[in-house]
A and B are shown apart, each in its own frame.
Chain A
């Protein structure tokens, strides 16, 4: 009887099990430690766990897709790629936290580290669920951990404000997603995404189009919130500003990547073939809706960023704009949908992580979150200033950096599918973005320093900056190679239901 349990190939879930185990272990160790003890050892433990999970994730590449736990959990290359991104991002955030999350500010250090891990776990579940229920559980695990993390500096008003706004708006968006899912279930009678797709096709034949669209658009509202695209962006600046800098980095990088994985999985896994087989209208409607989201994000993100004087608020609006760019391949269903999205998300991960790390250091040094904190950085710490310049160049999309080729491939998607207006908006807003990115560069190089002395860069942060910088430059020099690597991934497996590879029926 027990053999049924062992029939499953549990090693496919090794990354998730490692992270879940590590989070539990960390919380127990934290409880056993003394209140005043330095808990940075927990960060190292978490770091090791993330690296272990990363190893198992990467070693799984190229194998057959596999479904486990009654076909609710699906390990395919699509999920693995996103998991690799999430794990890398979290590892780097943990490394930064080692220096940045000081006891003075974050009294609940133990909680900080294992909530990062549970949030990561939620993100990982999101990337490889094939079932609406597991998807939602993953989403909530990610969101609820993030809410607490945003407010972890509990003596600070702005941190509390951030957490409060995040909880309320996040709850509303989750409700939208859940309401959309309920219509899918109502139409299909199943929560399995791929079975639901087939049954919704039948429902559409029976004149249920309006409900199919209703479910899709309700979920789109929620997804728009989770990936921080306009017009669902109102929470972003306040939360990014109020949360501690490493947490902001986590939200901007890991949360957003996971939300994109969710969005792509649900839209392509649940609706693409449905619309393809039934009606061109549906596809057109979906494309238009997504393009409007993308265009609005680019315009609002890039123009409002012009008027921001706080580093993290500026980066928040920049992150809204980047969400807009990243939406384009999905919206246009371009020829390189997966490759260009993942390439852009990788580039975005590296440059945003790097930029936020520098911002954290500079803020700590100057004691202010204003852009003026960067004044004269080139004289006080030339290397940091140079690294920040590279990140900003990449963020604004100037060659030869990862950000440039990311935007370039996205543009190809838009042009190849004849969506010229979105390409035009993208180019125009990119030019606008130069103003605020180079505002920081100008601060660093052409303004006299306000403070005296060198800026101290902690070793772990220096390492993260170096990794991010090398990644940004290397991806920018060898984009073709990176794209070929991504092209070898079995993306198609994410789109269709799986037969074979499933555990034997009892």
Chain B
């Protein structure tokens, strides 16, 4: 067994992934009553009737904010396991583990400073 055969499982999952939604939707179509009205056709948006077109310009700042968020999100993801394992790592590898993380955080701080200076943090 082995390496080649483990791809059988992948294939099975792909087939399942395709078959499940197809089966579910077909079953639904066969079982449900079909009585369309205009109200039913409106797209659902938090219970409020949508107004205007969906093709509008979004403010580009959303994008920058999202980018900043992702950067610091990833930082947290790295920091948590590091903090949890810190004591063990310190006995194993010594202070290097602290230095390493400080370097990482330092570079991220440069990123934050950059965003700050380039006025990403201001909305107006």
Contact = CB atoms under 8 A, between A and B. Distances in A.
A481 interface: no
B107 interface: yes
Contacts of B107: 24
Nearest to A24: B110
Nearest to B100: A5
A398 B102 CA distance: 54
For chain A, the bracket of interface size reads 10 to 19
Given A186-B3, A211-B4, A4 B93 contact: yes
B91 interface: yes
20 contacts: A1-B94, A1-B95, A2-B94, A2-B95, A2-B96, A3-B94, A4-B93, A4-B94, A4-B96, A5-B93, A5-B99, A24-B107, A27-B110, A31-B113, A31-B114, A186-B3, A203-B3, A208-B3, A208-B4, A210-B4
B34 interface: no
B107 to A, nearest CB: 7
Contacts of A208: 3-4
A322 to B, nearest CB: 36
B104 to A, nearest CB: 12
A404 B12 CA distance: 57
A227 interface: no
Interface in A1-50: 1-5, 24, 27-28, 31
Question: Which 7 pairs from chain A and chain B are nearest by CB?
Answer: A1-B94, A5-B96, A2-B94, A31-B117, A4-B94, A2-B95, A5-B94
B61 interface: no
Contacts of B94: 1-5
B90 A1 contact: yes
A87 interface: no
Nearest to B6: A186
Interface in B56-100: 90-96, 99
B91 A1 contact: yes
A27 B114 contact: yes
A187 interface: yes
Contacts of A24: 106-107, 110
B3 A187 contact: yes
A291 B71 CA distance: 43
Given A2-B94, A27-B110, A208-B3, 8 more contacts: A2-B96, A5-B95, A28-B110, A31-B117, A187-B3, A206-B2, A208-B4, A210-B4
Contacts of B117: 31
Contacts of A203: 3
A94 to B, nearest CB: 21
A232 to B, nearest CB: 27
Contacts of A27: 110, 114
Nearest to B97: A5
A502 to B, nearest CB: 16
Nearest to A28: B110
A210 B7 CA distance: 14
A363 B93 CA distance: 56
Contacts of B92: 506
A199 B110 CA distance: 42
A489 B2 CA distance: 43
A211 B7 CA distance: 12
A208 B5 CA distance: 11
Contacts of A186: 3
A27 B114 CA distance: 8
Contacts of B95: 1-2, 5
A107 to B, nearest CB: 12
The CB with the most chain A CB atoms within 10 A, among B91, B92, B94, is that of: B94
A481 to B, nearest CB: 43
Interface string A380-392: 0000000000000
A187 B3 CA distance: 7
Interface in A206-236: 206, 208, 210-211
Contacts of B99: 5
